[in-house]
């Protein structure tokens, strides 16, 4: 049976992004992820939180502890009600940027986690879910 511990944080300003990073770091440390795995997950969280704020015009991050048998994992879900992403495949390509020169960092974040899923359409907001197993 899997138990889930979960918490949701708002992502409404750049300080929230810092807090989100620290929260992910804290949970990953408690679960005793290796240092490299922690760094990858926190960095991915930072990228995605920033996206939620900058492109999604603000939203939230939900962090969840997963247990599947003996495996332990952390799942992060980033949601916003922003403009959405018209071409997901394009957005996932490395080096994709929107005018201001700020890359979406989606493709890169995908490589930092074990599971990655994205749900988005123009006018319908965006939800990105990533999971890292210990």
In the stretch 3-22, what mask flags binding to other proteins with x, by CB under 8 A?
A: -----------xx-xx--xx
Using CB under 8 A as the binding criterion, the count of chain residues that bind other proteins stands at 30
* 90 lies in the site for other proteins, by CB under 8 A: no
For 69, other C-beta atoms within 10 Å of its C-beta total: 7
Distances in whole angstroms, Cα of residue 98 to Cα of each of 16, 63, 95, 103, 121: 23, 27, 10, 6, 16
The pairing of strands 126-133 and 59-68 is unpaired
Is residue 118 involved in binding other proteins (CB under 8 A)? no
In the bound complex, what is the minimum distance in angstroms from residue 90's beta carbon to other proteins?
Answer: 16
Residue pair 21/42 in contact (Cβ under 8 Å)? The answer is yes
Query: Least separation, in Å, of the C-beta of 124 and other proteins?
Result: 25
80 in contact with other proteins (CB under 8 A): no
* Minimum distance from residue 16 beta carbon to other proteins (Å): 9
Q: Which of 11, 27, 33, 50 binds other proteins (CB under 8 A)?
A: 50
H-only helix segments in 1-131: 14-30, 35-54, 88-92, 106-112
Q: Treating both helix axes as pointing N-terminal to C-terminal, what angle do 35-54 and 14-30 enclose, rounded to 10 degrees?
A: 150
- 94: contact with other proteins by CB under 8 A: yes
Q: List residues binding other proteins (CB under 8 A).
A: 1, 14-15, 17-18, 21-22, 25, 35-36, 38-40, 42-43, 46-47, 50, 70, 94-95, 101-103, 105, 107-109, 111-112
């Amino acid at each position: 049976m899997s138990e889930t511990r979960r918490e949701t944080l708002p992502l409404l300003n750049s300080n929230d992004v810092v807090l989100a990073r620290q929260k992910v770091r804290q949970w990953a440390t408690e679960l005793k992820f290796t240092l490299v795995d922690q760094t990858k997950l926190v960095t991915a969280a930072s990228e995605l939180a920033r996206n939620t704020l900058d492109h999604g015009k603000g939203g939230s991050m939900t962090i969840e502890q997963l247990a599947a048998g003996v495996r332990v994992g952390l799942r992060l879900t980033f949601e916003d009600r922003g403009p959405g992403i018209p071409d997901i495949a394009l957005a996932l390509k490395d080096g994709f940027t929107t005018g201001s020169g700020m890359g979406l960092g989606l493709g890169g974040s995908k490589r930092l986690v074990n599971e990655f899923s994205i749900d988005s359409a123009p006018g319908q907001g965006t939800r990105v879910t990533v999971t890292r197993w210990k």
